[in-house]
């Protein structure tokens, strides 16, 4: 792009799009830290977004991306820390 075709408004628009993408990624990462169900299905959602883009471009998603992944099992849904006091492992026999 030549210097005459690039304006300040173009710079603001590109900056806003980049900032929006960065905010979206950050929100997804924070959401995944607190929601185990979302974290287990995040790679499936990414595959679906990529497959939609492939279809938009006229490509077959199965050929380009491979088979759709299955969601990961969710082992524990409550957040992080659990107190050690009062647990049966610490009980005196």
Predicted confidence (pLDDT) per residue in 12-68, tens digit = 999 999 999 999 888 878 877 777 777 778 888 889 999 999 999 999 999 999 998
Distance CA 37, CA 75 (A): 9
- How high is the pLDDT of residue 5? 72
Residue with tokens 């990462």: 29
Distance CA 8, CA 34 (A): 39
Which is more confidently placed, 80 or 54? 54
Which is more confidently placed, 67 or 6? 67
Tell me the pTM.
0.50
What's the whole-number mean pLDDT along residues 81-90? 50
Helix (H, G, I), strand (E, B) or coil at 73: coil
């Amino acid at each position: 792009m030549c210097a005459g075709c690039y304006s300040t408004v173009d710079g603001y628009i590109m900056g806003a799009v980049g900032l929006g993408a960065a905010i979206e990624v950050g929100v997804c990462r924070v959401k995944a830290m607190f929601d185990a169900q979302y974290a287990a299905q995040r790679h499936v959602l990414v595959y679906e977004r990529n497959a939609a883009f492939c279809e938009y471009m006229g490509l077959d998603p199965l050929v380009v991306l491979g088979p759709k992944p299955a969601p990961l099992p969710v082992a524990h849904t409550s957040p992080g820390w659990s107190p050690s006091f009062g647990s049966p492992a610490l009980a005196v026999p």
